[in-house]
Amino acid sequence: MSDSGQHKPTVERYAEADLPSRFGPFRIVVYRELGGDKEHLAVIAGDVEGAEDLLIRVHSECLTGEALHSLRCDCRDQLDLALERIQSKGTGAVIYLRQEGRGIGLGNKIRAYAKQDEGLDTVDANLALGFEDDQRGYQVAADMLRDLGVRSVALMTNNPRKVAGLEHGGIKVTRREPHEVEAHEHNREYLKTKQDRLGHLGTNGDPD
């Protein structure tokens, strides 16, 4: 997707290589934020240059869920489902953003967990620590997609803020693809809070 020239990119392409996985073959591209050292990933299946209506997911890092298999959320399940759906289609991408804990960082996310253990929901836990309910941004994701030459996307999400964020960043979202996994006893209240207080869509809740 061409840049209008009015927006200065927030990231630059830094490294890339093939990435075989249990879901199938991907190409992984690392982007580094300009003026900083934070790195984000594009995990790509097929040829996305010039793609329209490309199936994608914008996914925020969740070390506790994805690496440690925490049951407080279902971020790992959401990521796995996105990779499966992309491989099934043959073309698509996961834009993996390093913005842990809805943008507050790993240490503060664990502090928020402690507040939740005291009875607060996920929104009030963040607010009690002096943060917004969700501090993530999506300009980086839009810039990564633009650099990859993607013209428009079908976005796998239950979070309307992601749709708005990509469109604000200049990426055309042709449609929202519902992206739900099953809730369970450990994350059901967490997912309900997402729907009730953050406006997420779906029947099971959503960990976006």
Q: Is 136 a catalytic residue?
A: yes
Three-state DSSP state, 76:
helix
- What is the C-alpha to C-alpha distance for residues 72 and 74, in angstroms, rounded to an integer? 7
How far apart CA 77 and CA 168 sit, in angstroms, is 28
- Rounded to 10 degrees, the C-alpha dihedral 62/109/162/89 comes to 10
Q: How far apart are CA 20 and CA 8, in angstroms?
A: 33
Place of tokens 């992309």: 86
Would you say 82 and 156 are in contact if contact means Cβ atoms under 8 Å apart? yes
Question: Among residues 77, 134, 143, 208, which one is catalytic?
Answer: 134
φ, ψ at 31 (rounded to 5°) = -115, 140
- Please state the three-class secondary structure of 152-168 as a single string: EEEEECCCHHHHHHHHH
**Catalytic position from the list 102, 111, 136, 151:** 136
DSSP per-residue codes, 110-144: HHHHHHHHTT--HHHHHHHTT--S-----HHHHHH
Which residues are catalytic, by number?
Answer: 134, 136
